Amino acid sequence: MHDKLMYMTVLMACLVSHSVSQAASEKIIAESGTSKVALLELYSSESCSSCPPADQWISNFVSHKDLWLTFVPVVFHVDYWNHLSWKDELSSSDMTARQMAISKTWTQPAVYTPAVILSGVEWRAWRESKLESLLVKDSSNLALDIVQDPNRLFRVQVSGQTPGVKYIVHIAKLGMRMSSGITDGENSGKTLSHSFVVLDWQNQNLGPTSVTHPVEFAANKHRVEKYAVVAWIEEVGRHIALQSTGAFL
């Protein structure tokens, strides 16, 4: 009996030691805090001649002093222009589906590129007005942390949920300062520059543990100067980010 007790004591000590060691080897990549961080979405396409100015506009936020602190930019490439003699390799039907779903929440639904959306709201005057004037300095009950484990897998930890509300967490890997030489279509002959481009994007319904399952991003086949990882949380069935966070890798 004494030996069995000693064995159980040693086993528990080992498990605790392993848990502490595992936690110590994890690191927080990004944390939102409880101030509201807005999600800024651009829907773009390499097949659209009107999109390069918007791509350049959002790329300018790479060095913005409030990047990740008050807003998180993401660029989704849609696939509905791929019939115009150029297939955008950055595009996907999932990104198109997200734009379509968001547009249905507006008074006058419209799907087009370039389209800029701030916290779920269409922003057509992005050329004339400044982003800072639209950001609401508000607090949020929700807070997000992006954690990377020793295997370079990512998890999102959530706190401040409202009881009874079902949430979905989005986590994405972004490519910065990418370039594409276009040989056909509306942008034929141009070299396009991209930043904050969604390269891989995964969603998980948030369970009772308040932590997502580990995420391993797909291998990237594009030339990228720098990466970032971002996360945002929404209520299930809605497409308005309640809180966001992100950071460069």
The per-residue pLDDT for range 31-53, each reduced to its tens digit, is 999 999 999 999 999 999 999 99
5: which 2 tokens? 């007790």
Looking at residue 2, its pLDDT comes to: 54
The pLDDT confidence band at residue 25, using thresholds 50, 70 and 90, is: confident
The mean pLDDT value for 14-41 works out to 75
Is pLDDT of 186 > 80? yes
User: Could you tell me the pTM of the whole model?
Assistant: 0.89
**Who's near 222: CB < 8 A, 6+ residues apart?**
89, 90, 175, 178, 199
**Confidence check: pLDDT of 10 > 70:** no
- Token digits of residue 234: 């929404």
* 171 within 8 A of 211, measured Cβ to Cβ: no
Q: Kindly give the residue spans of alpha helices, DSSP state H, lying in 60-163.
A: 93-103
Alpha carbons 30 and 12: distance in angstroms, whole number: 32
Q: Residue 145 forms beta bridges with which residues?
A: 31, 157
